[in-house]
C-alpha cells in the first residue's frame, strides 16, 4: 500500500487552493494512506482545517525559522515529514517554491522526480504520472521503478477536494539551526498593479503563438476585442517572445481570469494557460489543429484559420452593432 505525503503551501495566512487540489488527487487513489505536512509558524489551526478536508494525518512543522519560505529550512521539514510518515510518494504543487524545493527533496531521498503532472494514478501500488509534452500537444505517461517518487502537480489541473474527512494532527519535531542557514528572509515586495487588469474584463480575446507575429495582434486580435467591448490577452509564448508586455499574459505565471466570454485564438492550450482561464463562463477556441488541448475545455471550438475566422467574426459583430 502506498503512503502519500502532501506538502501544503501557505499564502497570505491561508492554505493555497492548490494544496486542496493535491488532497483531491491523493484521496482518489484507492488503497493509499494519505498524510500531509503543514509548515510555518503558528499554523495549528490551518493543520486542523486541512486534516478535516482531505489531508489525512497532518504533521505540523512549527518553528520561527519556517515562518517564511526558505529552501533549506523547508527542505529540512519536508525530509523530516517523509521520514515520520514513511511516504513513498511525495506531492507538491508546481509553484515557484514547489519547483524550487521538490528536486532537492528527490535528490536527498535518492527518489525519482516527475514535474508538472496533471494526473496521478496507482498501478500495483506504484505511482503513474501523466504530464503534457510538446507544448501540450501530447500526453506522456511516466512510471518508475524507484522506491520513492517526488512529483509536482500543476495548480488547476484538478478541482479542489470537497467534503469532509476524518483526520488527525500531530507535532513534527524539526531541528533547524536558523543561524546556520545560508540565506535568510528579508521582506516581500509586491509591485504596484499597472497596465491592463484582465481580472476585471468581462470579455477577453487572447492570442497565442499561432497569431504569427506581433503586428497581427493589433490587426486581428485587438479589433475583435474592441468590437466586443473587451480586452486583449495573450499566452506565455507571446510574452516570452516580447510581442506583448507581461501584463497581457493569461496563465499560471500571468493573470488568472474569469470573464463571461473568453476567445482563444491560435492557442494550443498548454496546462499553464488553461489554469489561468478555464473558469471562464464561456470559452470559444479557434485553432487549425483539431487535436489542440484547448478544445478539451472549450464550449465552442472552431477548427480553422484564425486569419479567416476572426476578421469575419469582427466584421459580423460590427455590422450587427450598426
Residue 316 has a pLDDT of 96
User: What's the order of all strands across the beta sheet hosting 300-303?
Assistant: 231-234, 203-207, 261-265, 282-287, 300-303
Q: Where are the domains of the chain?
A: 3-180, 198-321
Res. 51: pLDDT tops 60: yes
pTM of this prediction?
A: 0.74
| 160-196 residue pLDDT tens | 898 889 999 999 999 888 888 888 888 887 666 556 7
Residue 35 has a pLDDT of 97
CA–CA separation, 263 vs 259, rounded Å?
10
Domains 3-180 and 198-321 share a fold: yes
CA–CA separation, 311 vs 296, rounded Å?
24
CA–CA separation, 135 vs 132, rounded Å?
7
CA–CA separation, 127 vs 136, rounded Å?
21
CATH class for the domain made up of 198-321: alpha beta
Residue 137 has a pLDDT of 65
| 225-249 residue pLDDT tens | 999 999 999 999 999 999 999 899 9
Q: 3-180: what fold?
A: Rossmann fold (3.40.50)
User: Could you give the C-alpha distances from 16 to 12, 34, 144, 148, 269, in angstroms and in order?
Assistant: 9, 18, 29, 25, 24
Res. 223: pLDDT tops 80: yes
Amino acid at each position: 500500500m502506498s503512503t502519500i505525503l502532501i506538502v501544503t503551501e501557505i499564502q497570505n495566512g491561508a492554505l493555497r487552493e492548490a494544496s486542496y487540489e493535491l488532497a483531491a488527487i491523493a484521496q482518489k487513489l484507492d488503497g493509499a494512506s494519505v498524510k500531509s505536512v503543514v509548515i510555518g509558524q503558528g499554523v495549528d489551526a490551518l493543520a486542523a482545517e486541512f486534516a478535516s478536508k482531505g489531508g489525512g494525518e497532518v504533521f505540523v512543522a512549527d518553528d520561527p525559522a519556517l515562518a517564511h519560505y526558505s529552501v533549506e529550512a523547508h527542505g529540512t521539514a519536508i525530509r523530516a515529514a517523509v521520514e515520520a510518515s514513511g511516504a513513498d510518494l511525495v506531492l507538491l504543487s508546481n509553484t515557484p517554491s514547489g519547483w524550487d524545493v521538490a528536486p532537492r527533496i528527490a535528490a536527498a531521498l535518492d527518489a525519482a522526480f516527475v514535474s508538472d503532472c496533471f494526473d496521478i494514478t496507482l498501478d500495483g501500488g506504484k505511482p503513474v504520472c501523466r504530464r503534457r509534452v510538446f507544448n501540450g500537444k501530447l500526453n506522456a505517461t511516466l512510471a518508475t521503478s524507484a522506491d520513492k517518487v517526488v512529483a509536482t502537480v500543476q495548480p488547476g489541473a484538478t478541482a479542489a477536494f470537497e467534503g469532509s474527512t476524518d483526520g488527525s494532527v500531530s507535532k513534527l519535531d524539526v531541528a533547524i539551526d536558523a543561524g546556520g542557514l545560508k540565506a535568510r528572509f528579508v521582506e516581500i515586495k509586491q509591485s504596484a498593479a499597472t497596465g491592463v487588469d484582465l481580472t476585471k474584463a468581462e470579455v477577453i480575446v487572447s492570442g497565442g503563438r499561432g497569431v504569427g507575429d506581433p503586428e497581427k495582434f493589433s490587426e486581428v486580435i485587438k479589433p475583435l476585442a474592441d468590437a466586443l467591448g473587451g480586452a486583449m490577452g495573450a499566452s506565455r509564448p507571446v510574452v516570452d517572445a516580447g510581442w506583448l508586455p507581461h501584463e497581457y499574459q493569461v496563465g499560471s505565471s500571468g493573470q488568472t481570469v474569469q470573464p463571461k466570454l473568453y476567445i482563444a485564438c491560435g492557442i494550443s492550450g498548454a496546462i499553464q494557460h488553461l489554469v489561468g482561464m478555464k473558469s471562464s463562463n464561456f470559452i470559444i477556441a479557434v485553432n487549425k489543429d483539431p487535436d489542440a488541448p484547448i478544445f478539451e475545455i472549450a464550449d465552442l471550438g472552431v477548427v480553422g484559420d484564425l486569419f479567416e475566422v476572426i476578421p469575419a467574426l469582427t466584421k459580423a459583430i460590427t455590422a450587427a452593432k450598426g
